[in-house]
Amino acid sequence: MADIIDELEWRGLLAQHTDLAKLREALANGPVTFYCGFDPTAASLHHGHLVQVLMMRHLQKAGHRPIALVGGATGLIGDPRMTAERQLQPKEVVAGWVERLRGQISRFLDFEGDNPAIMVNNMDWIQDLGAIELLRDLGKNFRMGTMLSKDAVARRLKSEEGISYTEFSYQILQAYDFLQLYRRYGCTLETGGNDQWGNLVGGMDLIHKVEGKDVHVMTTPLITKADGSKFGKSEGGAIWLDPEMLSPYEFYQFWLGAEDADVVRFLKVFTFLSREEIEALAVEVAERPHKREAQKALAAEVTRLVHGQEALDQVLAATEALWGSGDLRQVDGKTLKGATAHLPSATVEIGKTNLVDLLITAGFEKGRGAAMRTIKNGGAYLNNQKVTDPDRLITSEDVLPGSLVLFRKGKRNLAVAYLQK
């Protein structure tokens, strides 16, 4: 097996790290027990968390033992952001998010075999941490100068809003997580995003002071586009991994839209395709970019990884049916609704609404005369079937899975009509 550090560096997954020679040696002599933490700040993980989960999977595939920590306790506190104080969420909301994140993370790791993953919640040890123990046993190991120099803390202190003691103390709790996992499971490596470097080093220093042992940390880089801009927004916002918050179809389309300048790098970061496969796709980008083979591979691989093969099959069927020659009735209602969510829309009343009404409502035509001419000239479609009768009413037989009908003017002006409730 290739050296895991070499593999991570080739994929662009390694940013900062402690002594690389010692880290490489520890991983080569493994197995190493390592952990990565995920705070429940929303009901779903997003593409940024996906980088961390994939790092964990790479390390597990190399024979190391992962611990996925969901921060039921730290999620109640909030890691300081660069901009403003976080809005504290009710305890029951955070507890619900913890369970949702546990379910999402569990799909990526193997909990059986020789190096099974472990899932933990830091509420198990932080909820019993008393004020005296926090200040006397933990607080004595942290220097104010170091804590104040953290990027987010320093920036917030210069802002009008400042920073609360609640968020300022977060770094102590994250460091305490590493100490607890070292004691409980022999964990000697923490991974995380590059913006977490200061917090990760805090845990490493705490273990050295309290236990007299040297442990390791390493981070992944912030993934940006080739032009340096932030990567990861859809029309509706973040690139959520939960299919209820971002449909698999929209998820697939997001990755399909990757620029030529970015797609090969994204294939390395977000898929498990081999070097040979990625190098072959790089040739396609260089020589036949119009075919977008690399983008298709990226979208398919990441969608399969996050949502599974069945969801990918439905997404591909929906894509073919909407824009090609596929059968719309072979696509399930959930996928079809997700695929059409951002299209122009109208409502339809069975037996009363006709295609003229729909073309006008969607904004494809300004008046009935223009709409009727478009239909008579063969430029209007209902569920991919050409309609030439302007008086043709929408019937129950036209309704597709998901209780909707699709209509189109020309080749590219597509819209959806939902049944009137």
Q: Which of helix, strand or coil describes residue 193?
A: strand
CA atoms within 13 A of residue 172's CA, in its CB half-sphere: 23
Domain membership of residue 338 (yes or no) is no
Report whether pLDDT(25) > 90: yes
Q: What is the DSSP letter of 74?
A: G
CA dihedral 111, 115, 119, 124 (to 10 degrees): 140
> Is residue 58 located within the same domain as residue 206?
yes
Domain membership of residue 76 (yes or no) is yes
The predicted-structure confidence for 168-224, as pLDDT tens digits, reads as follows 889 999 999 999 999 999 999 999 999 899 899 999 999 999 999 999 999 999 988
Tell me the two tokens of residue 307: 């949502």
> Is residue 22 located within the same domain as residue 165?
yes
Q: Residues at the annotated binding site for ATP?
A: 233
Q: Which residue has the higher pLDDT, 233 or 61?
A: 61
> Is residue 196 located within the same domain as residue 123?
yes
List the CATH number of the domain containing 273.
Answer: 1.10.240.10
> Is residue 311 located within the same domain as residue 354?
no
What does pTM read for this prediction?
0.88
> Is residue 74 located within the same domain as residue 160?
yes
Give pLDDT, residue 157: 86
Report whether pLDDT(330) > 90: no
Give pLDDT, residue 236: 55
- As a whole number of angstroms, the distance between CA 114 and CA 92 comes to 36
- Is 96 exposed, middle or buried, given 0-12, 13-18 or 19+ CB atoms closer than 10 A? middle
Give pLDDT, residue 261: 94
> Is residue 261 located within the same domain as residue 289?
yes
Q: Which of 418, 355, 7, 37 is nearest to 199 (CA)?
A: 37
The predicted-structure confidence for 132-169, as pLDDT tens digits, reads as follows 999 999 999 999 888 888 888 888 888 888 888 888 88
Domain membership of residue 241 (yes or no) is no
> Is residue 93 located within the same domain as residue 182?
yes
List the CATH number of the domain containing 96.
Answer: 3.40.50.620
- Domain finish residue from 295, 330, 365: 330
Within its chain, how far is the Cα of 37 from the centroid? 15
- Domain finish residue from 306, 330, 354: 330
Give pLDDT, residue 1: 40
Q: What mean pLDDT, rounded, does the chain reach?
A: 92
Mean pLDDT over 275-285 rounds to 97
> Is residue 116 located within the same domain as residue 212?
yes
Domain membership of residue 258 (yes or no) is yes
Mean pLDDT over 270-293 rounds to 96
Domain membership of residue 357 (yes or no) is yes
Give pLDDT, residue 324: 67
According to DSSP, the residues that pair with 234 across neighbouring strands are 237
Q: Which residue has the higher pLDDT, 421 or 277?
A: 277
Beta strands in 27-95 (DSSP E): 33-38, 65-70
* Angle between helices 309-323 and 293-307 in degrees, nearest 10: 140
Report whether pLDDT(379) > 60: yes
Residue 159's contacts (CB-CB under 8 Å, 6 or more residues apart) are 84
Report whether pLDDT(342) > 90: no
Q: Is residue 116 reached through a cis peptide bond, with omega within 30 degrees of 0 on the bond before it?
A: no
Mean pLDDT over 97-105 rounds to 96
Give pLDDT, residue 162: 86
Domain membership of residue 335 (yes or no) is no
> Is residue 119 located within the same domain as residue 10?
yes
> Is residue 44 located within the same domain as residue 153?
yes
Residue 100's contacts (CB-CB under 8 Å, 6 or more residues apart) are 40, 43, 44, 242
Domain count along the chain:
3
Q: Which residue has the higher pLDDT, 164 or 228?
A: 164
Report whether pLDDT(409) > 80: yes
- As a whole number of angstroms, the distance between CA 306 and CA 321 comes to 23
Give pLDDT, residue 209: 95
Q: Residues at the annotated binding site for L-tyrosine?
A: 35, 170, 174
Domain membership of residue 337 (yes or no) is no
Domain membership of residue 225 (yes or no) is no
> Is residue 122 located within the same domain as residue 211?
yes
Mean pLDDT over 120-137 rounds to 93
Report whether pLDDT(116) > 60: yes
> Is residue 184 located within the same domain as residue 140?
yes
Report whether pLDDT(251) > 80: yes
| Cβ atoms 120, 38 nearer than 8 A | no
| Cβ atoms 265, 228 nearer than 8 A | no
Give the pLDDT band (50/70/90) at residue 229: confident
Give pLDDT, residue 84: 80
Domain encompassing residue 415: 345-419
Give pLDDT, residue 322: 84
List the CATH number of the domain containing 374.
Answer: 3.10.290.10
Tell me the two tokens of residue 385: 């079937």
Give the amino acid at 177: D
- Domain finish residue from 168, 201, 220: 220
Give pLDDT, residue 149: 86
The predicted-structure confidence for 50-73, as pLDDT tens digits, reads as follows 999 999 999 999 999 999 999 999
Mean pLDDT over 14-27 rounds to 94
Mean pLDDT over 21-50 rounds to 94
Report whether pLDDT(2) > 70: no
To which residue do tokens 């009901």 refer? 43
Q: Residues at the annotated binding site?
A: 35, 170, 174, 233
Mean pLDDT over 116-143 rounds to 93
